[in-house]
Amino acid sequence: MTVAGTSTSDHAAEAARLHRPPLLPDLLVTALERNLDRPAVHIDGDVLTGRQVRDEISRYAQALRSKGLGKGSPLAVLALNRPEVLFNLGASMIVGTRTTPLHPLGSLDDHAYILEDAGIETLVYDPQFFGDRAAQLAERVPGLKNLLAFGPHEAGDDYIALAQGFDPEPLVAPDVDPEDVPGLAYTGGTTGKPKGVMGSYRSAATMTAIQMAEWEWPDAPKFLMCTPLSHAGAAFFVPVLLRGGSLVVVPYFEPGLVLETIERERITATMVVPTMLYALLDHPDFDKRDLSSLEIVYYGAAAMSPSRLREAIQRLGPIFFQYYGQAEAPMTICVLRRDEHDVDDLDRLASCGRPVPWVHVKLLDDDLNEVPRGEPGEICVRGPLVMSGYWNKPDQTAEALAGGWLHTGDIAREDEDGYLTIVDRKKDMIVTGGFNVFPREVEDVISSHPAVANVAVIGVPDDRWGEAVKAVVVLRPGASVEAEELIALVKEAKGSVHAPKSVDFVDEIPVSPLGKADKKALRARYWAGTDRNVH
């Protein structure tokens, strides 16, 4: 029955509004309003309350609107951590822009490609560190209409001064649909050009709900932010505030600075990627600083060496919490809780945990059949956490979402207790003498040697074996080990098929802008001159 003067479409719209869940902008407003007089952000020696952060976000939102930005306006950010990044982050959420972060370590070509691919019209940047890059991008990307600098700069408008010209107004979340796209997260580009992952408001809200429900948190966390706020760091902003906590922000990751900040500020929580944890453990100040305030350390984004994780637990206590996800299903497909980190079980420490209840996860073979428990299969995911697709790439979207599953590209085994252990990325598998070798399994063995700080295993061309297993190893300072000893270690643990045919010792392993081992770059050193990357 339709009431006179109303249409079926009006009723559909009302029903959609009736059941529309709170989305991330709504949660931001709630988090700030609940903590108006509590510390929200510690940065550059200043402490900002929830009220002050709310008012600054309002000013920056008005500044964006004064430049013609509104719901869906394409905007990119290039900056190190500073308070204005948070203000712009909140303002972008309130205005409803489609925001794309540019990684600070990205190249000019990568940045230009992303801006053009995403159709970016407004670039927000830090003139102190990226003024020259912004000017170069303005010349290379014709579609850029606005350049907004965090301070005076000849290439763009002074965003800070513009924002300070407005009086604070109440924050009102934008009227958006859960399937609208608030941002594009570009993949690391380890295979070809980067792809823009279309995250939805639905996906972001689901991620936050899982963080609030499934993650372990200290009371009123004092959270150290030492990763880029424009990337993974942003995912902690709203949950920390909803928990009544505050963010302590440092401009970048430097081990000595991080250790000193934990001690001085009595930090209770932080987030690191494995290479950051290794750097902290190996720093000469590690045992000199009082780190006893730490209650939880979240880690993810790449595989952690089980032996180094055990070392961290032995030195800091059982305070580690792992999250596993990817840009296509952000951050929290699986978790490994603090009490699930068993230092007497390296297999458990190699696990990425168990799937959270808010997603459907199966290990599937190439024909979309679930593999028997204990056998390797691709982690595939369904549920509201999953992306909408890749920006302007229908073929890659269809491939990634084939059969109604997100195909993560990660190969894992499930143990009898339901814990998943990733044995490798699907594309990194080595075929040697007709046998399949997953590099992660070899890396875990080699990294258990006390002389090894970091290791990456790849396949290299070999006339006899097709591909030979090669280990590229970084030693700890002052340590030494013979290649034969590491080869024998793997042979004993995994058998002769997995044992490296050669070991190269290097000063460092190349990493992608996201801090992961860049195996594409590493393989390129050994596959140069070949017409394909299999042999």
Instruction: Report the CATH number at residue 463.
Output: 3.30.300.30
Q: Look up the domain containing 508 and give its range.
A: 430-527
Phi, psi of 44 (to 5 degrees): 55, 35
Is 534 contained in some domain? no
Q: Within a 10 A sphere around the Cβ of 339, how many other Cβ atoms?
A: 9
Is 227 contained in some domain? no
Residues 336 and 271 in one domain: yes
For residues 155 and 139, what is the distance between their CA atoms, to the nearest angstrom?
10
Residues 110 and 76 in one domain: yes
Residues 455 and 421 in one domain: no
CA geometry: angle at 197 spanning 195 and 202, to 5°?
Answer: 175
Residues 29 and 174 in one domain: yes
User: Letter for the amino acid at 276?
Assistant: M
For residues 209 and 215, what is the distance between their CA atoms, to the nearest angstrom?
10
Is 122 contained in some domain? yes
Residues 33 and 177 in one domain: yes
For residues 204 and 178, what is the distance between their CA atoms, to the nearest angstrom?
9
Is 80 contained in some domain? yes
Asked if residue 436 lies in contact with residue 425, where contact means CB atoms within 8 angstroms, the answer is no
Residues 371 and 389 in one domain: yes
> Among 84, 37, 27, 77, which Cα is nearest to 249's?
84
Residues 335 and 410 in one domain: yes
Count of domains observed in the chain: 3
CA geometry: angle at 285 spanning 282 and 287, to 5°?
Answer: 85
Residues 263 and 374 in one domain: yes
Q: Answer with the one of 407, 426, 445 that is the final residue of a domain.
A: 426
For residues 60 and 161, what is the distance between their CA atoms, to the nearest angstrom?
10
Is 532 contained in some domain? no
Is 238 contained in some domain? no
CATH number at residue 36: 3.40.50.12780
Residues 304 and 185 in one domain: no
Is 112 contained in some domain? yes
Is 205 contained in some domain? no
Q: Answer with the one of 178, 195, 212 that is the final residue of a domain.
A: 195
Residues 388 and 490 in one domain: no
Q: Give the tokens for residue 136.
A: 């170069």
Kindly list the distances between the CA atom of residue 90 and the CA atoms of 20, 74, 357, 378, in Å, as whole numbers in the listed order.
Answer: 21, 15, 29, 36
Per-residue pLDDT of the chain (535 residues; tens, 9 = 90+): 445 556 677 777 777 788 889 999 999 999 999 999 999 999 878 899 999 999 999 999 999 999 999 999 999 999 998 889 999 999 999 999 999 999 887 788 889 999 999 999 999 999 999 999 999 999 999 999 999 999 999 999 999 999 999 999 999 999 999 999 999 998 754 344 778 999 999 999 999 999 999 999 999 999 999 988 877 777 999 999 999 999 999 988 999 999 999 999 999 999 998 888 989 999 999 999 999 999 999 998 877 888 999 999 999 999 999 999 998 999 999 999 999 999 999 999 999 999 999 999 999 999 999 999 999 999 999 999 999 999 999 999 999 999 999 999 889 999 999 999 988 777 777 878 767 787 888 998 999 999 999 999 999 988 778 789 999 999 999 999 999 999 999 988 887 888 999 999 999 999 877 677 888 889 888 888 775 565 6
Q: Answer with the one of 376, 391, 426 that is the final residue of a domain.
A: 426
For residues 277 and 530, what is the distance between their CA atoms, to the nearest angstrom?
36
- Please state the pTM of the whole predicted model: 0.84
Residues 415 and 383 in one domain: yes
Asked if residue 209 lies in contact with residue 358, where contact means CB atoms within 8 angstroms, the answer is yes
> Among 362, 284, 144, which Cα is nearest to 133's?
144
Asked if residue 156 lies in contact with residue 120, where contact means CB atoms within 8 angstroms, the answer is no
Residues 475 and 409 in one domain: no
Chain centroid to Cα 73, Å, comes to 24
